Amino acid sequence: MATVALSLALVPVGGALAQSATPVFQDNASEARKNAGNSQANAELFYMIQQLQGEIRRLQGEVEEQRNLINRLTRQSRDRYIDLDQRILGLSEKVASGGGSATPSAANLPSSGSEPLQRPVTKVYRQPEREERQAYEQIQDLIHKDKNYDEAISQIYDFVDEYPEGDLSVNAYYWLGEVYLVKPQLEQAKQAFTIVATRYADHRKAPDAVYKLGVTLDRLDEKAEAEGRMESVVRNYPDSNAAKLAQKYLDSAGS
């Protein structure tokens, strides 16, 4: 009887242990599955972030390439702009010369051995207003203070587009030649100085422009043409500082 009683007493205890062990096992398995699911989700999220970061870097690279291409095309188009401007000027002078009504200019002056041509009639240039003067002063700061020649070139083109045929516009063309001469981009400098020397031969910047055109031609190893420009400075602008510099060049070339 004692043995039976002991067996009956142990049955509830064993059953309770069995019942209590089952949920613990199930909870651990569930937690493991949950952790595994979280790890997989984190791995997938990390992979997606890596892909997005790679895509962003790729797009940033493409944007930078496009920006460089746009800047290069802008510079090329502006160089073509001044070249086209000079070609149009040359054609207009040829047409005018054919009709017998050409205005003498520094570009058409004989290099040596002939009588000087008459200088064109002085015209009145439009004087700048406040905003135009401020824009011009900003260009001067870029050239002289910041030495940021590329930005200066960009702003000069914008300036002559926005404020054409003004007193400071002629100055801007002259400084365009100076900046190109410093870079050095000699063909562009030649074109810029030629615009001032031919189209604006009566402007106060014309003597300096013709002289610097001679300097540019000398650097391009076009010696005879350079001497012709220097002679035209001395002949047509004898009282200018540029004439003194031009005479020094001629004296040095003849020695």
Domains belonging to the chain, first-starting first, are 106-110+119-254 (1.25.40.10)
pLDDT digits (tens, 9 = 90+) for 221-239: 999 999 999 999 999 999 9
Beta bridge partners of 71: none
**Reported pTM:** 0.58
Question: Given this model, what pLDDT does residue 106 score?
Answer: 38
Asked if 209 and 100 count as a contact pair (C-beta separation under 8 A), the reply is no
Asked if 166 and 178 count as a contact pair (C-beta separation under 8 A), the reply is no
Asked if 201 and 219 count as a contact pair (C-beta separation under 8 A), the reply is no
pLDDT at 160 over 60: yes
Beta bridge partners of 126: 166
Asked if 188 and 180 count as a contact pair (C-beta separation under 8 A), the reply is yes
Average pLDDT value for the chain: 76
- Residue 166: phi, psi to the nearest 5? -105, 170
Question: Given this model, what pLDDT does residue 224 score?
Answer: 94
Mean pLDDT in residue range 108-117: 40
Cis omega before residue 184 (within 30°)?
yes
Question: Given this model, what pLDDT does residue 248 score?
Answer: 95
SS3 10: helix
Question: Given this model, what pLDDT does residue 213 score?
Answer: 96
Cis omega before residue 128 (within 30°)?
no
What percentage of the chain carries pLDDT values higher than 90?
A: 49
Q: Give the Cα separation of 159 and 139 in Å (integer).
A: 9
* Better-scored residue on pLDDT, 109 or 127: 127
Q: Give the Cα separation of 211 and 228 in Å (integer).
A: 10
